[in-house]
Amino acid sequence: MCISSIMAIVDGELGSAVAMQTALRIGKTFDAHTALVHVLPPLAVCIPLCCDVEGQENVDLLQNKSITLQERQRERFELLYQDTVVKEGIPSIEDTDQPKMLQFSATKLMVTGHENQEVATRGRLFDIIVMPPASELPGGAKNATLEAALMDIRELNNPLPRWWLWILYACIAWSLGYYVAYPAIPLVSSYTKGVLGYSSRAEVAKDVAAAKEAQKESLDKLDAASLEEIRTDPELLEFALAGGKSAYNVNCSQCHGSGAQGFVGYPNLNDDEWIWGGSLDAIYTTITHGIRNNQSDDARISDMPAFLKDEILEKEQVNQVVEYVLSLSGASTDAAAATAGTEIFAENCAACHGEAGEGIADLGAPALNNAIWLYGGSKETLVETISYSRAGVMPAWGQILDDATVKKLTVYVHSLGGGQ
Ligand code: HEC
Ligand code: HEC
Distance 364 CA to ligand 2 centre (A): 9
State how far the alpha carbon of 131 is from the alpha carbons of 170, 221, 295, in Å.
45, 91, 89
Q: Which residue has the higher pLDDT, 8 or 135?
A: 135
Using the atom order of ligand 1, give the atom closest to the CA of residue 254. 5
> What global pTM score does this model have?
0.63
Query: Which range among 8-22, 81-95, 263-277 shows the weakest confidence by mean pLDDT?
Result: 8-22
Q: In 3-state terms, what secondary structure has residue 409?
A: helix
Structural domains in the chain, sorted by start: 2-51+162-181 (no CATH), 54-151 (no CATH), 223-301+394-415 (1.10.760.10), 315-388 (1.10.760.10)
**pLDDT for residue 193 is more than 90:** no
Mean pLDDT, to the nearest integer, of 226-234? 93
Distance 230 CA to ligand 1 centre (A): 22
Distance 267 CA to ligand 1 centre (A): 7
Q: Give the DSSP H/E element, type plus range, for residue 103.
A: strand 101-104
Distance 241 CA to ligand 2 centre (A): 33
State how far the alpha carbon of 239 is from the alpha carbons of 37, 219, 232, in Å.
37, 9, 12
Pocket of ligand 1 (CB under 6 A): 251-252, 254-256, 265-267, 269, 274-276, 283, 286-287, 291, 364, 392-394, 397, 409, 413
Q: How confident is residue 290, by pLDDT bands cut at 50, 70 and 90?
A: very high
Express each pLDDT in 322-375 by its tens digit. 999 999 999 888 999 999 999 999 999 999 999 999 999 999 999 999 989 999
Q: Is the distance from CB of 307 to CB of 386 less than 8 angstroms?
A: yes
Using the atom order of ligand 1, give the atom closest to the CA of residue 252. 37
Q: How confident is residue 92, by pLDDT bands cut at 50, 70 and 90?
A: very low
Query: Which range among 39-43, 76-80, 157-161, 414-418 shows the weakest confidence by mean pLDDT?
Result: 76-80
Return d(Cα 31, Cα 34) in angstroms, integer: 5
Q: How confident is residue 138, by pLDDT bands cut at 50, 70 and 90?
A: very low
Q: Ligand 2 pocket check: which of 313, 352, 358, 381 to mutate, most ligand atoms within 8 Å of Cβ? A: 352
Query: Which range among 86-90, 126-130, 254-258 shows the weakest confidence by mean pLDDT?
Result: 126-130
- Ligand 1, atom 37: closest residue by C-alpha: 252
Using the atom order of ligand 2, give the atom closest to the CA of residue 302. 12
Q: Is the distance from CB of 274 to CB of 418 less than 8 angstroms?
A: yes
The pLDDT assigned to 63 comes to: 45
Q: Ligand 1 pocket check: which of 394, 410, 411 to mutate, most ligand atoms within 8 Å of Cβ? A: 394
Query: What average pLDDT does the structure give for the chain?
Result: 75
What letters, b where the CB count within 10 A reaches 16 and e where it falls short, cover 142-177? eeebbebbeeeeeeeeeeeeeebeebbeebbeebee
* Closest to 51 (Cα-Cα) out of 9, 23, 91: 9
Amino acid identity of residue 340, one-letter, is A
Using the atom order of ligand 1, give the atom closest to the CA of residue 276. 27
